[in-house]
Amino acid sequence: MHFVRAALLYGPMVSRSENYVEYCRETARHLHNLQDLALRGKNKQTITRRIQERIVREVELRPDDDVLDIGCGDGTLLQMAKTRGAHSAIGLLATEEEAAIVRRLGIEVRQGFTDQLPVPDESASVVVCNNVLLVVPREKIPASLRELHRVAKPGARIFVGEIPLEPGPPPEPEFPTARETLAYLYRQHGFRTWFGMLRHMLYWKLTSKPMVIRGGSTISFFAEPSEFAALAAEAGLELVRCWHHDDWPANRYNYLFRKATAVPTAATAETVPHPSPAA
């Protein structure tokens, strides 16, 4: 079923962060292809692998590395780490339902959130957090960056990827009733989306579960490079470089940090690009 970003004022409501978690659970429950856990959409396996290969090159992955992949998706990067002989490779996902699926590949995966990582202090020499912080509420970004610093070993390479420069498209209209929501979905997206949502609504109603209609790709956090680098510096992350994300989707930036031995007060302006509006 295709989830559209429409809000439904019907039945028990959930916050944006809770909504994302329920979306992840729904994805795991109705999984047809393991790659769907990457939350990039259908038939994006090639893009997912290409991006993960670039991350491996950027962090200069070595056999003695202890890798932590926050938001490990379908486990592609963790499998690459194992193939390259990494000392250890641990992945984190938002729900136990997702983690249980990826563990079937023989990979160590735990449930955890960015602002409360279930990992010991200074346990990872490579930390990857790609295509994740954009769905984290803005108020939890400072705590999330502090957690990246906490779990990183001295001198660790820390990759934070796909931070949008601007919010995504606005959500579709809100409706006070299920009937109006279904009517809108039928008019805008056709019978298949209408029927799929009707089935989900009936399931949610019968089980008293929260209704989850807002898609997992909804952007909660975005920032220009100078702002994000400053936030990271406050958490003790030293910027190595940042660059435009040259793959799908566009208009995002990638960052490579290392764990600073002392917490700097601000990012150095000369190291942070200032993208033009057309970036």
Residue range 99-136, pLDDT digits in tens: 999 999 999 999 999 999 999 999 999 999 999 999 99
**How many Å from the N-terminal Cα to the C-terminal Cα in the chain?**
33
Residues 68 and 98 in one domain: yes
Same domain, yes or no: 76 and 188: no
Report helix, strand or coil for 244: strand
Assign 129 to helix, strand or coil. strand
In a domain? residue 192: yes
Mean pLDDT in the chain?
A: 82
Distance (Å, whole) CA 235 – CA 261 = 12
The Cα–Cα gap between 86 and 37 comes to 23
Q: What's the pLDDT band for 36 if we cut at 50, 70, 90?
A: confident
CA distances 79 to 9, 41, 52, 179, 251, Å, are: 41, 21, 10, 45, 28
> What confidence category does residue 167 fall into, taking pLDDT thresholds of 50, 70 and 90?
confident
pLDDT in tens, 47-103: 889 999 999 999 999 999 999 999 999 999 999 999 999 999 999 999 999 999 999
CA atoms of 232 and 223, how far apart (whole Å): 12
Q: Give, as one character, the DSSP assignment of residue 230.
A: H
* Total count of domains within the chain: 2
Domain presence at residue 57: yes
Confidence of residue 247 (pLDDT cuts 50, 70, 90): confident
Same domain membership, residue 225 and residue 120: yes
Query: Does one domain contain both 119 and 160?
Result: yes
Whether 253 is covered by a domain: the verdict is yes
Residue 176 and residue 157 share a domain: no
Q: Among all chains, which residue has been given the structure tokens 């780490």? A: 81
| 31 occurs within a structural domain | no
The DSSP call for residue 13 is -
| pLDDT at residue 133, rounded to an integer | 95
Torsion sign, CA atoms 227, 229, 234, 235: positive
Give domain status of residue 30, yes or no: no
Identify the band that residue 253 occupies on the pLDDT scale cut at 50, 70 and 90.
very high
* CATH code, 145: 3.40.50.150
Cα dihedral sign for 57, 58, 64, 68? Answer: negative
Q: Do 179 and 163 have their domain in common?
A: no
Judge whether 198 and 178 are in contact, CB under 8 Å. no
The answer, yes or no, to whether residue 248 has pLDDT greater than 90, is no
- 159 and 236 part of one domain: yes
- Quote the domain boundaries for residue 120: 37-167+219-271
Q: What single-letter amino acid sits at 34?
A: L
Number of H helices, E strands in the chain: 8, 9
Q: CA-CA distance, 221 to 209, in Å (whole number)?
A: 27
Question: Is 223 a member of any domain?
Answer: yes
Instruction: Compute how many other C-beta atoms are within 10 angstroms of the C-beta atom of residue 159.
Output: 22
